Structure 1
Amino acid sequence: YVKAGEQQLPDMMGQLVARLLPLFLFETAKSDEISAAILTLRLTENDMGVQYRANADLANQLFTALTRNTPDWAAPPEKVRLYYTRLHALGIAFQDRRYPVTDMLREIFSLAQARSGTKGDATAVMENRAALLAFALYFGDLPMPHLAAAVRTAALAGPPPNARAVRIQGRHDLVQHLATSAALQITGNSGLANALGEIKEFTDTAPGGTGFSFADLAAGRVGTLLAQQALDPLTARHVQQQLAETRNARDFFPRLDDFPQVLQQADFERIYRDFDSPPYQAAIAEIDARIQSLPLFSPQANNH
């Protein structure tokens, strides 16, 4: 079980926290082993208690993970600032009217493609990383105080202009989910990004929440896969080419009209039970398959 203070969390939330902690602290390859070793987890304002099956190797890994340094953003702030400046200028130009995210992605990945030129694939990866970090800084809700302080200088200081007017399928929050998950992938791993997405959606099923949304979850998974492929030397230039030309979000965002749009907790549990159930896992597998078949993520899709 998982307790926050003296309050035991519902089973589904407990599952997610127990899954999230190892993903946050360790590489994905070790997270399942660590999750299985956790017996109880207790969180308070000042500390965290974990009871786990005795395993000296895991204990050493836990200590190392808890004492490691803050992740390196792996892109020079001055390079990120180049892309952020483009987003900032475009945001001002649109003057409070709504506009699609494709305009922003096309702007920064056209620049990434031009700056990569005929240089090696490592250059394309570095430019893509800087572009995505700028995108996440502009639209995401992942705290990045050190990067923000280094990038948002002089005329770029303050909130990003007109950021909330940018849409995917008419929704700004999908842009936020995509941007935040891309940043998490760059600085952590896909398991962490996807688990955070599930936790967010579960909390939305509570009274007063917006409800569980497969579209929200898909946006996070798109962001994760976008970062993976943008930073892979084998696909970095394909990502640049696709996003430098994109004019339709269907190039990278799946249609989910046949999925439930908003589910409160009782409805979610009635249909899917929990996040480990076969029906839920089948739904996630279908969403992932649709994402991976889109032109941005499947070069073969462009040949049909």
Structure 2
Amino acid sequence: MKFASLDPASVSPRRSRRLWPWLLLSPLLLIAIAATLAVQSRPLVEPVDGGLKPEEIQSTKDFLRRNDPRRLQASPHRLLRIEERQLNLMLMQLAQRYGQGRGAAQIQLQAGTARLQASLQMPALGVWLNLEARLSQTLALPQVEELRLGHLPLPAWLAEAALRRGLGHLALSVQAQRAGELVESLRFNPQELLLGYHWQADSLDHVLGAFWTPDEQERAQAYNRRLVEISAAYPPGSSVSLALLMPPIFELARARSERPDADPVAENRAALLTLALFSTGQRWSKLLPSARAWPQPLPRMVTLAGRDDFPQHFLVSAVLALEGSGPLADAIGVYKEVADSRGGSGFSFNDIAADRAGTRFGLLAKDAPRSLQALMRVGLHELDFMPGVADLPEFLSAEAFQQRYGGIDAPAYRQMMAEIEARIAALPLLQQANVPRL
């Protein structure tokens, strides 16, 4: 059977006009089909119900502390063994952090191969974005053999480009590159990952330096310079209320946010980081190696409600929340209090209140940055942003906490937390900013 060839000249103008809409719609139709295949109604990995548990955060902190390369025996070449359970715990925490409580991830390790799965909820659409990748071991770093987005299989050659795009979305591309330069090999064993890396005396400086763009470094230096001026106004050995420190710092944030190319959220972030470091007795050089050459603020005790630990709770939680990790800030606050009850100062609900107030402050700094800057005026009172907590139970031992409240999932504990949330919601700063409750 012979088919007649199509002569372009034989296509009538009317028929040509009919074909054009189909030619234009075809790419859109393919995109719609791909988008439909990429999302699913259920997660591939279930997120942790109720967020991170205190003991899970403690496990990760202990693991990182034990394997801090600065504390290990001096050697340029290191080998780190990570059990699958511990690796999954860290992956879940990262997914929770960058997924703002809506993400989950896990990995399954076998001899020479690994299967990575991740899920991200998309509430606006009522669907889940699921990713699954199969990695194979090589002499150096692993390579992606298979990549699937929902029901949509993707060619392996797209994996590297997709990974770069994902890292760029997280603003981690440079940092990941610097950290990746330290990694020599990744080997997969059943339920175990072996990470080979090299470490020199200046390795940490290289990695930390990559976390800060030139604009961020200039911003940090500006707030550090302002804090140097503020700290010099108080006599040596004196204490200063956080309510006195925040107005001049945020006045600088407001002024800088008026520039045409300004990013008010970034200004608030730098302001809060500067205050958080100062309240904990740290310097910017802890995060940014080049800051060692900057003038340093004079040490002063920062207080809130007459205590020097409340500003630390408040500001660290604020920074974590501003970074997009409200659930993580909650979990870290609970973790510290549970840890204290097991061998430290005891479980304190007033510390939890400072954590939660800081979290709300950090979210306000992110969601309504200019409103917050305008509210940070001279005459700011501590009770504008921190609730009264003098009547809240504190210094509870593990036994007393369990006996009185029955654990962090018990009704008595939830009732106390509801009381704390009500006090925070009534804070004048939040009322004036007119922001929704968490």
Residue 227, structure 1, aligned to residue 299, structure 2 = no
Q: 1:100 aligns with which of 241, 251, 264?
A: 241
Question: 1:154 is matched by which residue type in structure 2?
Answer: W
| Aligned residues of 1:77 and 1:147 also touching (Cα < 8 A) | no
Cα displacement string for residues 91-115 of structure 1 (whole angstroms, at most 9, x for unaligned residues) = 2321221221111101101111222
Q: 2:425 aligns with which of 264, 275, 292?
A: 292
Matches within 5 A, 1:181-200: 181-200=317-336
| Aligned residues of 1:139 and 1:176 also touching (Cα < 8 A) | yes
Matches within 5 A, 1:1-304: 14=55, 22-26=92-96, 27-30=99-102, 56-57=117-118, 60=132, 76-95=216-235, 96-117=237-258, 123-140=263-280, 147-156=287-296, 160-163=297-300, 165-207=301-343, 209-232=344-367, 235-299=368-432
| Aligned residues of 1:274 and 1:280 also touching (Cα < 8 A) | yes
Greater radius of gyration (CA): 2
Cα displacement string for residues 38-86 of structure 1 (whole angstroms, at most 9, x for unaligned residues) = 9xxxxxxxxxxxxxxx99546949x989xx7659568611112111221
| Aligned residues of 2:101 and 2:325 also touching (Cα < 8 A) | no
For 2:284 and 2:411, the matched residues in 1 are separated by 36
| Aligned residues of 2:100 and 2:325 also touching (Cα < 8 A) | yes
Q: Secondary structure at the match of 1:99?
A: strand
Report the CA distance between 1:229 and its aligned residue.
0.7
Q: TM-score, normalised on structure 1?
A: 0.73
| Aligned residues of 2:322 and 2:362 also touching (Cα < 8 A) | yes
Q: Secondary structure at the match of 1:166?
A: strand
| Aligned residues of 2:310 and 2:354 also touching (Cα < 8 A) | yes
Report the CA distance between 1:141 and its aligned residue.
7.6
Unmatched segments (≥5 aa) in structure 1: 1-11, 39-53
Report the CA distance between 1:151 and its aligned residue.
3.5
CA distance 1:242–1:271, shift in 2 (3 Å): same
For 2:329 and 2:269, the matched residues in 1 are separated by 16
| Aligned residues of 1:142 and 1:180 also touching (Cα < 8 A) | no
Report the CA distance between 1:174 and its aligned residue.
0.7
| Aligned residues of 2:228 and 2:298 also touching (Cα < 8 A) | yes
What is the root-mean-square deviation in Å for CA atoms of aligned residues?
3.6
Question: 2:224 is matched by which residue type in structure 1?
Answer: Y
Unmatched segments (≥5 aa) in structure 2: 1-52, 61-88, 108-114, 120-130, 136-162, 167-171, 177-210
CA distance 1:261–1:267, shift in 2 (3 Å): same
Higher-strand-fraction structure: 2
| Aligned residues of 2:285 and 2:291 also touching (Cα < 8 A) | no
Report the CA distance between 1:191 and its aligned residue.
1.0
Q: How many residues align?
A: 264
Which of 22-31 and 182-191 deviates more?
Answer: 22-31
Compare relative contact order (CA 8 Å, sep 6+) and give the higher one, 1 or 2.
1
For 1:278 and 1:289, the matched residues in 2 are separated by 16
For 2:418 and 2:410, the matched residues in 1 are separated by 12
CA distance 1:13–1:78, shift in 2 (3 Å): closer
CA distance 1:283–1:24, shift in 2 (3 Å): farther
For 2:257 and 2:369, the matched residues in 1 are separated by 10
For 2:353 and 2:281, the matched residues in 1 are separated by 17
Report the CA distance between 1:30 and its aligned residue.
3.2
Question: 1:230 is matched by which residue type in structure 2?
Answer: A
For 2:224 and 2:231, the matched residues in 1 are separated by 10
Partner of 1:7: none
Q: Secondary structure at the match of 1:286?
A: helix
Question: 2:102 is matched by which residue type in structure 1?
Answer: K
CA distance 1:202–1:222, shift in 2 (3 Å): same
Partner of 1:49: none
For 1:114 and 1:181, the matched residues in 2 are separated by 25
Higher-helix-fraction structure: 1
